[in-house]
A and B are shown apart, each in its own frame.
Chain A
Amino acid sequence: MMLFAFLAQTLRIAMPYLFASAGGVVSERTGLIALTLEGYMLIAAFCAAIGSHFGGSPWVGVIAGMAGGAVAALLYGLCCIRYRANQVVVGIAINLFAIGITRFLLRLTFDSSSNSPRVGGFTESGTGFTALIQNPLVWAGVLALPTVGWIMYRTPFGLRMRAVGEHPAAALSVGVPVQRIRWYAVALSGALAGLGGAYLALDQHQFTDQMTAGRGFIALAATIFGRWDPPRVAIACVAFAAAETLQIQLQGAQLIPSQFVEMIPYVLTIVALAGVVARAVPPASLGRVTE
């Protein structure tokens, strides 16, 4: 029973990471830095709460969340694909924008500065294993990265995506519509991260101010630590979530301060980037949309 509870909680914590890092893989493999995952998720979480509240069904929330994430991603695409603005600057700004606009709209729609009213989710309450498997989003989350992996390595679209990310000029020269592939990829990454945001809002039955709390960056860390490869990224997500779960369950024991557990994903990512164990080499055109 202990093990079951542990696994259930790990999966629950991993869920937003799995969705967002699936988006991160799609985005980064086509050359767009995924600093924006946090912003996509936050906007999506808000849209999901709105959708579920006014639409009366969690499914409306899910669709609204995906749409919200995709719209935020298209804004990123407009600046960085169409106008070739600097991805780092726009990425940071979109995260700031997401914090500001969700707070503003929270005041506008619910006249609150902290949270929305309670909205309907897929499961009423409870964090146990049965509640988990009754939630269709959990199944979607488990399948997100495998699906992205299948698209990337088994479909023509995936091949083009990888070509655009590794060598856009070569892809262009053989007739791949580079810009269009980037547009599709950025919208897909927004929708995927949006599912992560929707999961958060529906799981907690409300939107709260800054509820993503850095999860988008942990997903980015998992993307990098998993070396942009879907199976490895999935393992990284689950491992980061397991560390958090362990910390929560051992809270009473006070073995390690919680702040040190928080650091784990970030430290590992830096170690991976510095190549102490096995060097993480990013997609070649990452951050440079020139063609």
Chain B
Amino acid sequence: MNRAKLEEALLPPVVALLVAVIVGDVLIISFGQSPAAVYRQLLEGTWGNAYGLGQVLYKATTLTFTGLSVAYALRAGLFNIGAESQLAAGGFAAAFVGLALPAGIPALIVLPVYVLAAGLAGGIVGGIPGALKAKFGAHEVITTIMLNFIVLALLNYLISARFKVHDTLHTAEIRSGALPRLADFSGPFHGSAANLVLLLALVLAAVVWWFLFRTRPGFELRAVGLQPEAAEYGGVSVGGVWWRAMAVSGAIAGIGGLNYVLGYKHYYEEGFGAGAGFLGIAVALVGRNHPVGVVIAAILFGTLSQGGLAVNALVPKQMVDVLQAVVIIAMATAVPEVRRALLSVRGAGRGARGAKPPQDARVPLPASRVPRVPQ
């Protein structure tokens, strides 16, 4: 990665965080508190002790899955707004399988079964909009949003009508395959929900990186994302890439459901996603659709989510929800703006030195060649 690319990748998140800090100051002062005290509390409550850190890692794990899911689809030029319901479908499938499995099988043996079930459920929910896009040209943004409502309503029906434990809104606990928490290895983490699904998230991030940047289908997927017509001309089946990308994207989000089912509560409950699917869009955006960036961004948003609870005694924890939204808005606005600003600065620099611009001078691309999705 050369310097120009690095600047373009890192400037927008820095700008976005600065804007968020300013908005945060305004909110904190409006509540009559000192920003310094609140931010210190936020850091101490998250990274200052093992319990807080464990909670951050737990939240970051789910966000890594949903962020990877959104980023993967975006690399193919598709917006997956459905991670919320794909995550829930994956979690439900895992809980369902967990009820059917006999008790006492070692986790390592049943883990693949869980991954398969959650991935399949999420993949179906993601694959439907993909197929509708490939076959009928139905816009995936609208179909994934609508499917969110449909799938969540269906799952709520299944829970309330069939699978709930009496007087609760959740299923019975799975009988085997629960994974150890970090607290089982290291005492200070006691009480926090971080668990070994964390490793699964990191492995998956590595696999996604390898697939996207080191394999031929990954290259084809990115080619479709940059310029579908050109990819088609180059012999790629664009429709095929679209629906497979959405199915895989859904599967990644679905596997994220294991974090809750295998590592934390061991059951599925109503309101499963709790917004992690939508935050996945933010994670992918801030992580610039790169698996490494996604992991870092997931930790950032995990810190913010947990930080809200840490500062709740001083200011309402909803402040953090506002800040997360501000980060997304500022980031989305800064990405095209920073790109334009950098282009004009570099252009001016060359002009000042009186050098003739090279043939491939970085002039703004014509509108038709600008990828619709910020990379």
Contacts and interface: CB of A to CB of B under 8 A. Distances in A.
A binds B: yes
Interface of A: 33, 35, 75, 78-79, 83-86, 88-90, 92-94, 96-97, 99-101, 103-104, 107-108, 113, 214, 217, 220-221, 224, 257, 259-260, 262-263, 266-267, 269-270, 273-275, 279, 282, 287-288, 290-291
B161 A104 contact: no
Interface in B271-301: 275, 278, 281-282, 285
B27 interface: yes
Nearest to B308: A100
B372 A288 contact: yes
B318 A100 contact: yes
Contacts of B139: 273, 282
21 contacts: A33-B141, A79-B329, A79-B333, A83-B336, A83-B337, A93-B329, A96-B324, A101-B318, A101-B322, A257-B161, A259-B156, A263-B149, A263-B150, A266-B146, A266-B147, A270-B132, A270-B138, A270-B150, A273-B143, A279-B136, A290-B370
Contacts of B132: 270, 273-274
B31 A273 contact: no
Contact of A100 (B143, B146, B324): B324
Interface in B321-361: 321-326, 328-329, 332-333, 335-337
Nearest to A86: B332
Contact of B329 (A88, A94, A103): A94
A274 B138 CA distance: 5
A84 B336 contact: yes
A86 B278 contact: no
A150 to B, nearest CB: 27
A282 B138 CA distance: 10
Interface of B: 27, 30-31, 79, 81, 132, 135-136, 138-139, 141-143, 145-147, 149-150, 153-154, 156-157, 160-161, 275, 278, 281-282, 285, 316, 318-326, 328-329, 332-333, 335-337, 367, 370, 372-374
A95 B149 CA distance: 16
A269 B146 contact: yes
Given A89-B332, A100-B321, A270-B132, 5 more contacts: A35-B145, A100-B322, A266-B146, A274-B135, A274-B136
A25 to B, nearest CB: 15
Contact of B149 (A217, A275, A288): A217
A85 B332 CA distance: 5
A101 B135 CA distance: 40
A79 B161 CA distance: 44
A260 B154 CA distance: 7
A214 to B, nearest CB: 7
Contacts of B337: 83
A92 B142 CA distance: 12
B143 A270 contact: yes
A93 B282 contact: yes
Contacts of B372: 287-288
Q: Which 10 A-B pairs have the closest CB atoms?
A: A100-B321, A97-B325, A93-B328, A100-B322, A103-B318, A273-B138, A259-B157, A266-B146, A96-B325, A107-B316
A92 B333 contact: no
A270 B147 CA distance: 8
Contacts of B328: 89-90, 92-93, 96
Nearest to B149: A266
B280 to A, nearest CB: 10
A96 B157 contact: no
Max count, chain B CB within 10 A of own CB: residue among A85, A267, A279 = A85
A32 to B, nearest CB: 13
A196 B339 CA distance: 38
Contacts of A282: 139
Contact of A88 (B141, B325, B367): B141
